[in-house]
Structure formats: structure tokens, C-alpha cells
A and B are shown apart, each in its own frame.
Chain A
Amino acid sequence: MEQSENNSAGKIIEKKISRRTLLGGAMAAAILPVTSSFAKYIQVGVPAIDDPTKKLGIPPGKLGKRSPFESPVRKASDISSRSPLQDFYSTITPSDLHFERHHAGIPNIAPDKYELLIHGMVERPMKFSLNDLKRFPSLTRTCFLECAGNFRTGKEAMTPQDILGLTSQSEWTGVMLSTLLREVGVNPKATWFLAEGGDASVMTRSIPLKKGIDDAFIAYGQNGEAIRPEQGYPARLLLPGWEGNTNVKWLRRIEISDQPYFTREETSKYTYPVKGKIRMFSFEMDARSIITFPSYPQKVERGWIEIRGIAWTGRGKIVQVDISTDAGKTWNAARLQEPVLDKAHTYFRYLWQWNGDETEILSRAVDETGYVQPTISQLVAARGNDLGGYHMNPVTSWQIKRDGSVLFKPENYK
């Protein structure tokens, strides 16, 4: 695939001829100075690297594509797909690599058939076409999305994608829900609303009206273009900082109410045991972080290593990320990439000189409320042994082996 024609000496000659022909013979056939070290390679029979400065490139086209040398992919199961966190240099997730989680597949919704109904405790129930939504004053906001069940552990051979791939970040564009609520006139006694999706699960969640007024918005744009089908095309609810499931995709209906509905996704699912009780309406995503470099299955070399990763919190901004390179004994602050945004993935970097000894490296996020990302034992102490799988945000650690291999450190907590 990667220019395999260069492997055959015959093809190389053929190319040189054609290039010479094209340039009208102005260029002499590859007569390389034998004194250069490059030429020595040639002499021992290794084919020359194709020189892009000596070959006319590909003309412009309608749709761009990734370099043939890069192939980041999601990892998909029947119900979700995970973002390749280890492949990202910064915090905007390319739209085609945004994680997915849906309950009954991706619906195919024609934009001209789309309608959002708002009714219930309002003066005037209304419906909005996609075009209506786009005519209102709009906003653009960068924020993360994360599935409430985003954490896997259990073996050493796990990548950041395997461990925490159910989070992604986009720059979303849409209309504030409060702008639409002005139009329908909300009854002052209302306290909750129900958000419903137009997919085959017709998924519903109850949301406190306060969130709807504070910063909820209905997004139709993602990273500058129309939102992707798997992200809720043509329009979805966005609740910055709140568990992914509440950000209802393919949003078709909002019902204003004075009580929650106790839907299946807020009772049977997205709830978890806490010391013999079951915690529900657990909306905010607490602060967490992960080192994405170095990580399994990469290998590091002794010497300078820039440790890199992302940290985020559903409660505002990340104020600090601490790094430990001695298995948690001492901690030092990483550099945060500016601008640090509210309820957004924040890229961090920490320069480290590895002396070649076996060790563990860890990251720990601190958010603006003073919350410090807990260890797994702190979570067990707070919630009891029967933790469930939701809202698990423990500090995670990578083992660096003497040979430079990097392995995840699974911590058993069940």
C-alpha cells in the first residue's frame, strides 16, 4: 500500500524515465554523488526513498482524506464504539472518531422531516423544524461528552481507548434551549423536563429545568459541519458536563413538567449502588484524567519523555493535573494547554527523564471546586464494595518495564 512500487528496482527505473521525459530531459538520470551516506545505502542495494520534491503531487479534490500512513479507528461493539485517545495530539476529536453509544442503532432522519416538539407546562406548545432552529440566535461551544459507564480495567494489555474511549470532544453549534423556552413560555411552577429521542429506543431522560435554563443547548453543528448521524443528526441535546446519556440524540420532543418521569434509563440504568442504596440522577461527570502517552502498546526509550494526556471535569475547569513518575509517592504539576475551557478536555504535558528503572506513571486531575480525582480505594471507601460500573473515575497508572514496554496496571476492586 505504502508506495510498494518502490520495492521493485524495475519500477524505480521506469519512474525515473517518465520523470525525465516529463521534464524534457532537463534533469539528468539519478546520478548520485557516491560520497554521500545516502548513496552508500543505494550501493548496498536498498531502494531509494521516493523524493516528493521530484514528482508532481496529487491535484486538489472534493473531499480530503487522511494520510495513507495514518489510520486511527474507533473500536466498536454491538452498542458502542470507543475513541482512539492515544492517537490524538490535542482535544478536538475528529468527528468520524467520536465515540458512539446508542440503544437501538443509528436512525436515518431526513432533515426536512425533522421536528422538535416542546409542550407540557408551557403557555404555547410549539414545534420547530430544523430550519426554525437554525434561524434563532446561535452559539458555538467546545465541551466533552462522556458515557457514564466510561471505565474498563482488568488486564495489562489495554490501551487508553480500551480503558476510557467512551469520551470525545467537539466544537458544537446550536441554539440555547433557554432561547426556545422563551418562545413557548414556561410555567413558573415547572421544575423538570423530559427529553426524548427519535430513534428506535425513543430514549427518554428527565432533566432538572435549571440545567435547561443554565447552559443546555440543542446542537445541529459539530466541528463546523452538520452533526454526524451517530451523534444525533439532525439535532441533539447538549448538557455540558453531564453524563453522556442525558445528552439525548435525535431529539424529537421536550415535555416541561413539575416532576421527573423515572424513565428506564434513569432507574434500571445509569444508577449505581452506594453502601446498600442506589444513587440516581447522578448527572455531573466528576474530574478525571488519563495519560495517553506513553501508554500500552508503545515502547519508550531511556532519556527525555514528554508525558501527555487529557483531563476533564463536568463541574467547570481543570485547575491542575498532578503527575507521579514514582508510582504515586511524589506528585508534580503538569503544564496545562491554554486556553483551559469550561467542562472540556484539557491537554496536559509533563517532561520526564526516565533513568531506565522499572516504575509507574500516574495522573490526577483537580477541578475548580477543589475536587481531586480519587484512587480506586477512595471510591470503594466512599461507595462500598459493590461499586457498579457508572461514574467510576479512579486515578489510573501505567507500568514502565525495564525494556521500555508500557503496560496498564489493572486494579481489582470487585
Chain B
Amino acid sequence: MNVKLHLNKKYVVVITGLIIIGVMTSEKRGYFSPGYGATTDTGKWPKSFGFGSTASPQDIVKLDIDVRPDGKGLPAGAGDAAQGKAIYVVKCAACHGATGLETPGIKLMGPALVSDTAAASKPKTIGNYWPYATTLFDYMRRTMPYTQPGSLTDNEVYSLTAFLLSANKIIRPETVLNAQNLWQIEMPAKKLFIVDDRKGGPEVK
């Protein structure tokens, strides 16, 4: 392990000591491994402590509102950009602007939602920065409008998603979005995303 560290000697010596400590603690901390707890004074951990209760399907449905990029979690319902625009004007424009575009000189309470090109332009919006359309559906349904979170119906969320994707020139204005097609939309920014490759060590990333 030390060989990988391109460091001067002073650091390596210190680090060797710490790695040994680190290994010892993580072994002691292997709570999840079946052996954990075998050394407590009351003997082995039971297979189950019996605390907590089984969650019923109804318990889960009540809270399980997330939508995944593969479409899992998208509810029944549908909507298009025209319906979305009508809802937007009433429920969103006050904070996100009449068009969702950033207007120079005007400070709104919410961020811009529309950008006029799909290139890496500013500001960062759904059109040039969001990798998945499902994220938009999921986010608006869980927390917008800001002051009335969780108040939108599923049809309204489909409509608003259609409106914002159409305003960002990602779908055609006449597209009706539903659980079958929303997750299949290819977002322009998706190809830009890379997973973190920092991993400590001497290299600055």
C-alpha cells in the first residue's frame, strides 16, 4: 500500500502507522458481517433484535414517490406542453419568470429553468445541464411550487415536464408525456456527466 504513495519518507512513516490502526478499527467495526457482536459481553447478537415492525404495502406507497431514470416510479397520467404552460403561468412564473428564461436585471426567487441553446451555455438549466428527464418529474412532484410543496397532481407534473422540456427544445411541443415515454427522452447534457475519479493520494483532481 505504501508503494503507491509518492511521498517523502516523513509522511510514509506516519501513514504506515495509521493504516494499521485503520485496518484494526474497520475490523472491529465490521458490524454488518455475521461475526459482528460475537465478542460483546452478552454474547452473540441475535439474528434479529425484534425492534421495529413490518411495513405494509400501504405504508410504502404513501412515501415511495421517487422516479428512477429507468422509469420505475412514474405514475399513471399524462400531459402536454400547452397544458403545462397554462399551469406554469399560474403556479410557477412568479418565481421562475414568465418564460423560465433568465432575464438580465431581474432577480427572481427561483432559478432560471430554460436556456435558449443546448450547448454548455449559462445559466445552467434543464436544457443544458440536466442528464435525465425523470429527475425533473421527480423533483417538481416532491417539492414545487416552493411555497406549496407536494401540491401538484400527477397530470400537472406531466404537463409541466412537457412544457419545460419543450421550452428547452428537447421535445416537440405536441408531445404528450406519460409513464411510457418520459423516461426514454435523451437529455443533451447526459453525455457530459462523469463519475468522480478523485481518490485521495498525491494527485490533485
| Chain A positions near chain B (C-beta within 8 angstroms) | 103-104, 117-119, 124-129, 132, 135-137, 176, 178-183, 194, 196, 200-204, 213-215, 252-253, 255, 257, 259, 261-264, 267-268, 271, 274, 276-284, 286, 315-317, 319-320, 342, 366-372, 374, 378-379, 381-383
Residues of A within 8 A of B202 (CB): 370-372
B198 adjacent to A127 (CB under 8 Å)? no
Closest to A116 in B: B52
Minimum CB–CB distance from A39 to chain B (whole Å) comes to 57
Residues of B within 8 A of A196 (CB): 63, 66
Of B84-92, B98-106, B138-146, B155-163, the stretch lying at the interface with chain A is B138-146
A278 adjacent to B49 (CB under 8 Å)? no
B134 part of interface (Cβ distance < 8 Å): yes
| Chain B positions near chain A (C-beta within 8 angstroms) | 5-7, 10-11, 14-15, 18-19, 22, 25-26, 29, 31-32, 36-37, 40, 45, 48-49, 51-55, 59-60, 63-70, 120, 124, 126, 129-132, 134-135, 138-139, 142-143, 146, 149-150, 189, 192-202, 204-205
- Looking at the complex, which one of A264, A315, A342 makes contact with B200 (CB distance below 8 Å)? A315
Minimum CB–CB distance from A84 to chain B (whole Å) comes to 28
B51 adjacent to A259 (CB under 8 Å)? no
**Can you give 15 contacting A-B residue pairs, CB < 8 Å?**
A183-B51, A204-B142, A252-B63, A262-B131, A263-B66, A279-B194, A280-B195, A317-B18, A366-B11, A367-B200, A368-B15, A369-B199, A369-B201, A370-B11, A381-B204
By Cβ-Cβ distance, the 7 closest A-B pairs, closest first, are: A369-B200, A178-B32, A264-B139, A125-B55, A128-B52, A282-B196, A178-B31
With A202-B150, A284-B198 known as contacts, the answer to whether A316 contacts B18 (CB < 8 A) is yes
A253 adjacent to B64 (CB under 8 Å)? yes
A320 adjacent to B150 (CB under 8 Å)? no
Minimum CB–CB distance from B2 to chain A (whole Å) comes to 9
Residues of B within 8 A of A201 (CB): 142-143, 149
Minimum CB–CB distance from B158 to chain A (whole Å) comes to 17
- Looking at the complex, which one of A180, A255, A257, A378 makes contact with B204 (CB distance below 8 Å)? A378
Closest to A185 in B: B48
Minimum CB–CB distance from B129 to chain A (whole Å) comes to 6
A135→B51 CA distance, assembly (Å): 7
Residues of B within 8 A of A262 (CB): 68-69, 131-132, 134-135
Closest to B142 in A: A202
- Looking at the complex, which one of B26, B69, B142, B192 makes contact with A278 (CB distance below 8 Å)? B192
A117 adjacent to B59 (CB under 8 Å)? yes
A127 adjacent to B15 (CB under 8 Å)? no
Grouping DSSP codes into helix (H, G, I), strand (E, B) and loop, the B interface class, with mixed when no group exceeds half, is loop
B65 adjacent to A202 (CB under 8 Å)? yes
A268 adjacent to B130 (CB under 8 Å)? yes
Residues of A within 8 A of B54 (CB): 124-127
Closest to B2 in A: A370
B31 adjacent to A176 (CB under 8 Å)? yes
B49 adjacent to A136 (CB under 8 Å)? yes
Closest to A124 in B: B54
B129 adjacent to A268 (CB under 8 Å)? yes
Residues of B within 8 A of A181 (CB): 32
Given contacts A204-B66, A371-B200, 11 further A-B contacts (CB under 8 A): A125-B55, A125-B60, A127-B53, A128-B51, A183-B52, A262-B134, A278-B189, A279-B195, A284-B198, A366-B11, A368-B19
A263→B66 CA distance, assembly (Å): 9
A111→B151 CA distance, assembly (Å): 25
Residues of A within 8 A of B29 (CB): 214-215
Closest to B202 in A: A370
Closest to A181 in B: B32
